[in-house]
Homo-oligomer: A and B are copies of this chain.
Amino acid sequence: MDFRLETFLPYRLNQAAERVSQRFAAQYRARYRMTRPEWRTLAALGTYGRMTATEIGVNSSMHKTKVSRAVRALEEKRWLKRSENADDRRIEHLVLTAGGRRIYDEMIELARAYQAELAHLLGEDGLARLEAGLAAVESGLPAATAWRGPSD
């Protein structure tokens, strides 16, 4: 029964994800007191401009409660502003404030530097293989939506 956790794909992937994320996450946590959902929300808004909470969730694969709390946190930091939509009052448009965009720009700089460092650490072909493997996962496995139809 030679099963070893260290060769089990879910375990290995989680480990790798943790290793690759850790130092970067430590940065936005320490420098800006941001959580991961907040960073993702900031990144989405910085990249695409005005979005609704639902759009952010789809774009960044986050559950709507995560988005909701991240939006609140960013709002309290004054990095984001809500504005209501007259046509459909269920929706809130979200935009970065000037201050938010400043943080976003700084974060992008950090992200780029980190990505470059990763590329260096992994080596050119290590990186290429990893990206090819990730592409296979992205196209071969269903998105982890935890989705359920309205009446289930």
Contact = CB atoms under 8 A, between A and B. Distances in A.
Contacts of A11: 40, 60
B61 A15 contact: yes
Contacts of A123: 136, 140
A140 B121 contact: yes
A10 interface: yes
Contact of A5 (B13, B40, B130): B40
B131 A133 contact: yes
Q: Does more than half of chain A's interface fall in helix, strand or loop, or is it mixed?
A: helix
Interface stretch (A65-73, A82-90, A141-149): A141-149
A15 B60 CA distance: 9
Contacts of A5: 40, 43-44, 47, 59-60
A8 B117 CA distance: 12
Contacts of A4: 47
- Looking at A13, A21, A46, the one whose CB has the most chain B CB atoms below 10 A away is A13
